Structure 1
Amino acid sequence: MPSARRKEQSSGSQTTDTPGHLEAVSAREGKENKMQEERRRFLEYLPPDTHEYNYPGPQGTQAIIDQEFDNHSPFVIITNISPSEFEQLENHLPGRLDYSYALHTLLLKLSYAPQEEAADNFGGLVYSKARDMDVNRNMRFRGATDSATPDRKKQPDRSWGPRHLFQGRTANWPTVALEVAFSESREKVKRDMAWWLHQSKGAVLRAISIDIKRPSGNIYITSWERGTMPTRNHPYPDPRVVQEVKIFRPKQGQSPRVTGDALVIPFQHLTLRAPAEGEGDFIFTRDELLEIAEDVWITMDRMQERKK
């Protein structure tokens, strides 16, 4: 059964207050407070009705996922899953994985047809523009390949980078990452974008979010870059919005409304070199982005019909 998400509080039994005991209690409480803060940040900005489960084994996990899919839940939380258990399971799970090694907690973003439609269409545009400039063989189309830090492993919806690694770079990170949100808060989207841009220590040069709102169908396509550098007092600064295109789904008989200019991904961000003759920035026109939105709306309608 899912448990209610709640703030955990530490408690201790009465013991003689010797200096050694007080020091041990202080250290334990400090560790507990740190873990509680990590948990808060990891699960912050999720929908309030997100269900949390204690890891029930592989078969039980699949049953939980099937149930949450039927309910059209955006996320599911699995706790007390060790790194070794996660590694055995990760290649068999649907959706996008976000695992905290410190918390032994998996946050699974369930992926539905509208998200996949948006990710596939945007990824197809990236490939076609690369092919038109004859640079597709110079790029890596990483799909949802995960990236990892010592504390966390996370998957994008799509990602790209240069095929050939340059000095100081590893294959762990893309240079551009895309995440598609479906009924997520703006703060959750910002937090995910910040992770790619800051935890990669500058390896990810641009993060793109496609934020699909339910039930309105309005779509916000945003390009992000690193904001202020993290400090001790402000370790998680917000990313900076470079561009935003807003696409508003029309009511029956009306036309969609699009605000914002064409979305631009700098050529150098995808190839790590300056453009040569016949090459240039990857430009996604308003019409191209509207076409993605229209395909998403069709998929949302079909999803709603199946729900009836």
Structure 2
Amino acid sequence: MADDILREEGLPATTPRYQYQGVKQCLRCFELELERYDREGQHGDGLYVIFDHVDDRSFQECFEDDSAESLLVDSLATYNFISHTIVLKMPPSDVHEAAHRAFSEIFSTWHRGQESRLVPTGDAKVEGFTRKKKPDSSWKTSIHIPGRDVKWPTILVEAGWAEPMAKLKQDILFWLRESEQQVKVALTIQVTRRESVTIKQWVLDETTRSSVKPIQTMHITRNRDPRLNQHQISGSMRIPFEDCFLRAKRGNESDFVLSNEDLTELAEAVWYCLPE
């Protein structure tokens, strides 16, 4: 069971792990891991912390009651109510926030220019078949479609800074598989210490339904040579209007295209926040 949770969440075996013994113990242990995470330079296997044996009543008390500790509530990444396991994530870094928020600004400029609007739902928690989970950014269509569960976002973003792609892929797998592909557009933004930013769109691998595969990739690497005024960019990103709004285009409505200028703007916001 322990290995199953690590695999499902894409986490290494060295991830800190505790047996849940109440709210106070959970908070104390998480604060100790937070201190260690800050002391070690905000990298390594301490980005996430696992607590086992958290039943539904304990989860309610710890994370959903009005009196719940805000540090724990804000740090919740996943609650698996099948295995009774919670995964907490360290408070987001400037780099992480810059990545998905810069994308959100670019994307919002586009969708506000269409005839109708998408509803921004941010990091709202969603309950699937096995887990409750929060994305980094998300949007929903504003129209009601028969048979579609309104709890699922139409498009979402998961951002990662100095964390393995395996974790991001497992996050995306949850959204696509447990929504039964009602999530139409699932994106990752990965930032590396080598000053590169990669954006990928993922779909469910229909041959196995237990993995995801990228269908679009756009990548930028920082160029520090003062003689050159451009960064190295590869790939392209076009998201059909219909996948976001779940209806056909009208009039002058358009697909979302992430241009080289957009990607550069996003990357420069991220690089500004990178530690020296």
TM-score bracket for the superposition, by shorter chain length: 0.7 to 0.9
Any conservation in 1 of the 2:6–2:13 contact (CA below 8 Å)?
no
Equivalent in 13, 37, 54 of residue 19 of structure 2: 54
Equivalent in 213, 222, 226 of residue 200 of structure 2: 222
Change (3 A) 1:57 1:220: same
1:85 maps onto 2:58 in alignment: yes
Equivalent in 230, 247, 268 of residue 294 of structure 1: 268
Q: How many Å separate the matches in 1 of 2:120 and 2:201?
A: 19
Q: Percent identity of the aligned residues? A: 26
In structure 2, the gaps of 5 or more residues are: 65-69
- 1:94 counterpart residue number: 74
Change (3 A) 1:218 1:63: farther
Equivalent in 109, 115, 131 of residue 128 of structure 1: 109
- 2:33 counterpart residue number: 68
Any conservation in 2 of the 1:90–1:97 contact (CA below 8 Å)?
no
For the residue of structure 2 that corresponds to 1:143, the secondary structure is coil
Alignment of 1:20-39 (within 5 A): 35=1, 38-39=4-5
Q: How many Å separate the matches in 1 of 2:258 and 2:243?
A: 15
Any conservation in 1 of the 2:185–2:244 contact (CA below 8 Å)?
no
Any conservation in 2 of the 1:74–1:182 contact (CA below 8 Å)?
no
Change (3 A) 1:47 1:218: farther
- 2:220 counterpart residue number: 247
TM-score normalised by the chain length of structure 2: 0.84
Q: 1:277 Cα shift?
A: 0.6
Alignment of 1:96-245 (within 5 A): 96-110=76-90, 111-136=92-117, 139-213=118-192, 215-230=193-208, 236=210, 238-245=211-218
Q: CA RMSD in A?
A: 2.2
In structure 1, the gaps of 5 or more residues are: 1-34
Q: How many Å separate the matches in 2 of 1:247 and 1:89?
A: 41
- 1:13 counterpart residue number: none
Q: How many Å separate the matches in 2 of 1:210 and 1:87?
A: 31
Q: 1:96 Cα shift?
A: 4.8
Alignment of 1:274-289 (within 5 A): 274-289=248-263
Q: How many Å separate the matches in 2 of 1:250 and 1:86?
A: 47
Higher relative contact order (CA closer than 8 Å, sequence separation 6+): 2
Any conservation in 2 of the 1:197–1:207 contact (CA below 8 Å)?
yes
CA-to-partner distance for each residue in 1:93-126, whole Å, 9 max, x for gaps? 2245211111111112332221111121111222
Q: How many Å separate the matches in 1 of 2:99 and 2:6?
A: 30
Any conservation in 2 of the 1:76–1:109 contact (CA below 8 Å)?
yes
Q: How many Å separate the matches in 1 of 2:231 and 2:27?
A: 39
CA-to-partner distance for each residue in 1:278-298, whole Å, 9 max, x for gaps? 101111112111211111111
Q: Number of aligned residue pairs: give it.
A: 258
- Greater Rg by CA: 1
CA-to-partner distance for each residue in 1:35-71, whole Å, 9 max, x for gaps? 456334334x324542112224333333333343341
Amino acid at match of 2:22: G
- 1:258 counterpart residue number: 233
For the residue of structure 2 that corresponds to 1:94, the secondary structure is helix
Q: 1:252 Cα shift?
A: 6.3
For the residue of structure 2 that corresponds to 1:202, the secondary structure is coil
